[in-house]
Every structure is written in structure tokens, then in C-alpha cells.
Amino acid sequence: MGWLFGNKSLADLSVLRTDIHSHLIPGIDDGAGNMEESVSLIRQMYELGYRKLIITPHVRAGSFENDTSTFDSRLEEVQEVLSDLNIPIKLEVGAEQTMDEDFMYHFHNGELKDFGRNKYVLIEFPFTNMPLNLKDTIFELQSAGYSLILAHPERYIYMKEEPEMIKYLHDSGILLQINIVSLIGFYGKLPQQFAKWLIKKDYVDLVGSDLHHQRHIDAIKKALSNKDFVSLVESGRLMNSMF
């Protein structure tokens, strides 16, 4: 299992098996800039114990206007290089889709990139405000058969003032995914405290690397001995291995 009992550290993350949030298609967003960087980061995820990665390039109005129909062929290019290097890790591609002014347009055009058996879609909220018409949007998406995962709720600080909305999201069956590195304060004190609160309230279903670059790998390694992260993993509540 990869545990180190006694000092309450994890030897690795093999118990999670699957990471569901990363930016590792070369040159497509603010993640890995080229194939070499992409392969280096994926190799380190393999060494950390992961056996499957869902890669989720940004789709965001104004900054990352990616065409999701190109994602499968881009993923294949990465997979081929990994096969040549004998790194036996499984890859799948989704997208991290921001709920902004273009989101419903993508939805109606069938451009949302889902993954897994239950049409999972990784959604991101704007960092400054709750999406407009959120409840209606959730209803429409779920009625169309999508299962929703909310990326890093702890980073939307405005949501701290809306505990009833967090409960609503959770009760609606939306899976909440915190970033591992939030727990060591990578994004500052507020997201760290918010992440701990979400864990305490039993709202956290998944953890993600949100891996963009080497600094994230270094931070994930630090989290292996973070007591909040260790006890979350030990709790057995995380659903990562289902993907």
C-alpha cells in the first residue's frame, strides 16, 4: 500500500491510483510548455504511484479558447512518446471548463469534453464571482446526462460566505475536488483554511494534482507528510481510484 506507519507520512500516492486534474498536453494552456516537460512531469507522477492521469486542459473565454475536438489526437502524441519510453501509465483527456460567458455555448454545441463512464465534466468557477444562473445550469447539465466535478472549490474564496450553496452543490451530487497542494498553503492561507473546512464538513470527494509545472510536483511531495492530507487519504473517503 505504500504506507509509512509511525511518522504519519505517505510513502507515495499509489492508494489514489488516478489523478483527475492536470495540465500536461504540451503547449495548449498554462501547463507543460513542451513534450519534454510534459513527459518529465508524467514520469514523476508515475514515480509517485499514480497509474492513470486524466489530463484536463483549460477551456476559458479570452485566455484558453481551446478546441476540445483536437484533444484526443494531442493526447495520442503524448501517449506514443510515453510508450516509446516504457512509462506504463494510462492517460485519458477531459477538460477544465470554466463556467463563463462561453460555457453554455460550448454545452449547446456538444463541445464539453467529458471523461469516464458517467460523462464526467470538470468544471471551474470564475475566481471572482459565482457563475450566473448556477442552479439552472447544473440542472440542464445533469438533465443532459453529465456528472459534474467542481475543481478546487477552496480557491473560490467568495464561496466561504455561501455555505448553503456548497451544501446545495454537494447534495446535488456534484463531486468536490480539492487540490492536494492547497493543504500545504501553496495558494495562501485562505484556500488552505477553506480546504480544511471542506474536509471537516465531509464535502471532499476527490483530490487533484492540478499539475502545471515542477513546482506543483515539489509541493505534492511536501504534502506526503502533511497531517491534513495524510488523514484525508487514510479516511478512505476519496473516490480517485474509481476513475
Give the interface with Fe ion as residue ranges (CB under 5 A): 96, 210
- Of the two residues 56 and 230, which places its CB atom closer to Fe ion in the complex? 56
CB of 208 to Fe ion, least distance (A): 7
Find cell 514520469 and name the residue. Answer: 43
CB of 3 to Fe ion, least distance (A): 28
Point out which residues pair with 84 in neighbouring strands.
Answer: none
- Of the two residues 96 and 154, which places its CB atom closer to Fe ion in the complex? 96
d(CA 101, CA 94): 20
Do 162 and 133 meet the contact criterion of CB atoms below 8 Å apart?
no
**Residue 210 DSSP class:** -
CB of 224 to Fe ion, least distance (A): 21
- Of the two residues 170 and 216, which places its CB atom closer to Fe ion in the complex? 216
Cα Rg of the chain, angstroms: 17
Find cell 491510483 and name the residue. Answer: 17
- Of the two residues 51 and 213, which places its CB atom closer to Fe ion in the complex? 213
- Of the two residues 53 and 230, which places its CB atom closer to Fe ion in the complex? 53
- Of the two residues 169 and 210, which places its CB atom closer to Fe ion in the complex? 210
Question: Using CB atoms, what's the residue nearest to Fe ion?
Answer: 210
CB of 209 to Fe ion, least distance (A): 9
d(CA 141, CA 16): 27
CB of 7 to Fe ion, least distance (A): 31
Nearest to 198 by CA among 168, 219, 220, 178: 178
The HSE-up count of residue 109 (CA atoms within 13 Å, CB side) is 9
d(CA 13, CA 98): 28
CB of 84 to Fe ion, least distance (A): 27
Do 78 and 26 meet the contact criterion of CB atoms below 8 Å apart?
yes
List strand residue ranges (DSSP E) for 119-228, in order.
120-124, 147-151, 175-179, 206-208
- Of the two residues 209 and 226, which places its CB atom closer to Fe ion in the complex? 209
CB of 96 to Fe ion, least distance (A): 5
* Phi and psi at residue 230, to the nearest 5°: -60, -45
